[in-house]
Structure 1
Amino acid sequence: MVLAVIIATLIVPFETIAIPMVYWVSKLPNLVFEGAVPKYDFGWLNTYQVQIIPFIANAFSIFLFTQYFSTIPKSLDEAARIDGAGWFTIYRKIVVPLAGPAFATVAILTFLPAWNSYLWPLMVVQEESLRPVMVGMQYFFQLNAAWGEVMAYTSLITLPVLIVFLSFQRAFVSSVAASGVKG
């Protein structure tokens, strides 16, 4: 039932929850250090964490992990319980190493929308030094830049995406290949 509610959130467009999310992240406490003295400042606006943390656990990632963990045989859990392992030990030493392909897939599929996000950073970040590259892309069109410069910039933007994919490629491909095989 809970998984069905989480999956149902996939049909809600981001634009419908963007304004309430801006309100809530502006009210979250932010630990700021002035010298060696920490103090709380309210509001995550104009920080890197507002661009990353709200999108770490999304419904698709939860669904993907649920489906992957359901394929791990229960006999592994039972054998570890007989050997005296607790639930956290079973998770840390058995389930997580077996879930490498799921972690790689979630890393790739979470990084891509975060890298390509435009609306959310435009709403919550005002400082130019904190804005991501997709928001910076609009500056080229304001300056009447040559298309060669725009194409060079977009080529540089694709490099981190290629690096992330190539670093997780083996696990991602094995995850995609295993999802089509039953037996």
Structure 2
Amino acid sequence: MDVIDSAQRALAAGDLDGARERLYEALRTAPASQPVLELLAYTHLLRGDRASAGAAWFLTDKADDDPTASSAFEALAARHRSALELAKSLPINAPSRYYPERARARLDRLVTAIAAGGQEWVPPRDTVYFDEAGVDVDDFVDDEFSDGSVTRSDRPLRQRVLATLVIVAIAATSASVVLAIVFS
């Protein structure tokens, strides 16, 4: 069953917390999904949490002057003492380029407001991290975010090879530890 259908069934049954949990779970695999973020915002509204609805809508193409969204954006701003706190409350799990233009404009304004306060914030996944060996950790993550329809065989060969090497290395290390314990 599709996550949207599942969440809508939960909402129809009055299970607001269940719907919210299903939608947050869906954002783990499809972090920039506009339908999921939209339904999450409405779910928060039904729960009486306008600020959380504003956080979800912040990452959508919802117009800033939409009456429902603008009141949710105001509630979001009122809940947080600083622009940095507001930024940390957003359910952003994808590089900002994966969000619609209006969401990117909001993120840009937020980064500017944080900088004006003398602080720095980079949207999650917009930063590339390297480990001590110089390996880009994003090499282990799909560059394209799935809407849930990507299967295992659709993943890039490079990612499958890297994952296999990591698993083999873990297994070899585990086996050597077991052998050392048994024969010592």
- Return the TM-score normalized by structure 2: 0.27
Q: More relative contact order in 1 or in 2 (CA 8 Å, sep 6+)?
A: 1
Structure richer in helix, relative to its length: 1
- Return the TM-score normalized by structure 1: 0.28
